[in-house]
Amino acid sequence: MIIRQQIIPSYKRPKYTVDGKKVSFAMVPEYITIHETANTGNGANAQAHANLQFNGNSRQASWHIQVDDLQAIQSLPFDEAGIHAGDGTYGNGNRKSIGVEICVNADGDFEKALDNASAVVGQLMKQFDIPSHKVVPHKHWSGKNCPANLLKGRWEEFINLCSVERRQLDDVVSTQTEKEDDKMYKPTSKALKDLTEDLLSDMTDETKHGKQALNKDWLNQFKQGTLSESNAIGLLFAAAKRGLFK
């Protein structure tokens, strides 16, 4: 997924206070911290939150990326610490993690925002070699109930989706030295192929499953022969977590 940049001007970025001086800290990311904006108002999308930061946030808070159902926007360089984890000036949450805010605006599609966020996080995991156990909720650092919706039994599902994206990117790199067919999911019979297509058609049926339905891109990948085995397995976990097999 493309991450569009709208970097906050340096002089407008919230700063840490150390010995009475306003300072910024360089960062080598070791974690990714997941937040939800908690702003359900209409129009409180990624662009609105990016604008809030770009124009100078009145709160002593800053984060790296905001994601909604349409786009992802970067506000801070990944080599600069934000102020988003609630664990103080020297806490690992603030000083060593990339902050990702998922929008919950009422006029947006939250399920699509989750899909986009998992794609972004998977890319960041790949880029900075961050394992899934270091993708953590805001609550991990400060105890705050955030991201509230994901912590209602959906955290594991989200991490699985992020890992699927990470593996998919790994597959792309691997195909430079391996035959693509060796990594693609290839049913061994017509009956199994038809069964798989029927199952994916059902799991991606928005009429039947509403916002819980999986993205139709997965069905298209299968039809085109570009669905990897690891992604096929990951989709089964995601579908089971969303209750699509009931």
pLDDT digits (tens, 9 = 90+) for 44-86: 999 999 999 999 999 999 999 999 999 999 999 999 999 999 9
pLDDT over 90 (residue 240)? no
Q: What is the structure's pLDDT at 175?
A: 57
What share of the chain in percent tops pLDDT 70?
Answer: 95
Q: What is the structure's pLDDT at 116?
A: 97
Average pLDDT of 18-25?
96
- CA-nearest of 49, 45, 42, 33 to 147 is 33
C-alpha span between 118 and 158 (Å, rounded): 7
List the single range of 136-140, 180-184, 189-193 with lowest mean pLDDT: 180-184
pLDDT over 80 (residue 118)? yes
Residue 102 has phi, psi (to 5 degrees) of -100, 125
Q: What is the structure's pLDDT at 211?
A: 84
pLDDT over 60 (residue 30)? yes
C-alpha span between 150 and 147 (Å, rounded): 6
Please tell me whether the overall predicted TM-score, pTM, comes out greater than 0.75 for this model.
no
pLDDT over 90 (residue 160)? yes
pLDDT: which is higher, 175 or 103: 103
pLDDT over 80 (residue 173)? no
- CA-nearest of 100, 96, 98, 104 to 117 is 100
Q: What is the structure's pLDDT at 67?
A: 98
Q: What is the structure's pLDDT at 154?
A: 97
Of the pLDDT bands very low, low, confident and very high (cuts 50, 70, 90), residue 176 is low
Q: What is the structure's pLDDT at 228?
A: 87
C-alpha span between 211 and 195 (Å, rounded): 23
Domains of the chain: 3-150 (3.40.80.10), 175-241 (no CATH)
Q: What is the structure's pLDDT at 108?
A: 98
Cα 26 from chain centroid (whole Å): 23
Of the pLDDT bands very low, low, confident and very high (cuts 50, 70, 90), residue 126 is very high
pLDDT digits (tens, 9 = 90+) for 190-235: 999 999 999 999 999 999 998 889 998 899 899 988 888 888 888 9
